[in-house]
Structure 1
Amino acid sequence: MLSIPLEKSLETALQTLAIQMGKPLSECLREAVCEYIEDHHDFMVGVAAMERNESSVTLDALEARFALDR
């Protein structure tokens, strides 16, 4: 188990979020940490691709190519 000291304003914001979502605070924190880890992994995959000079396509180009609407 972890113990993380938080600024009072951040703790209050997290408690408010948990209430709004109808979930325990621990579940909200677990979801946030998981999402952060996934985002960081995706970022690092992108950085590695750029370092290998792999070609890339913008989201706008993909949407235009496949006639997708946002």
Structure 2
Amino acid sequence: ISYWHERKRRYPHLSRMALDFQTIQPMSAECERLFAAAGRMVTPLRSRLDAKIIGMCQVLRSWLRAGV
């Protein structure tokens, strides 16, 4: 984590993505929102989506909303 904090100014977007993956969220509210969003994403037509695909979609959605 300190590696990316040191390079935050040089690689702002990449460091934000790396820190997003490497850190644990301090509040459960964000996790609950993500869980609810993933639940809305999986409809009967999308019920065969792999868990990894759903996770990647949620990460990308989060980054797009954050402007990364």
Q: Shorter chain as normaliser: what TM range?
A: 0.3 to 0.5
**TM-score normalised according to structure 2 size:** 0.33
Larger radius of gyration: 1
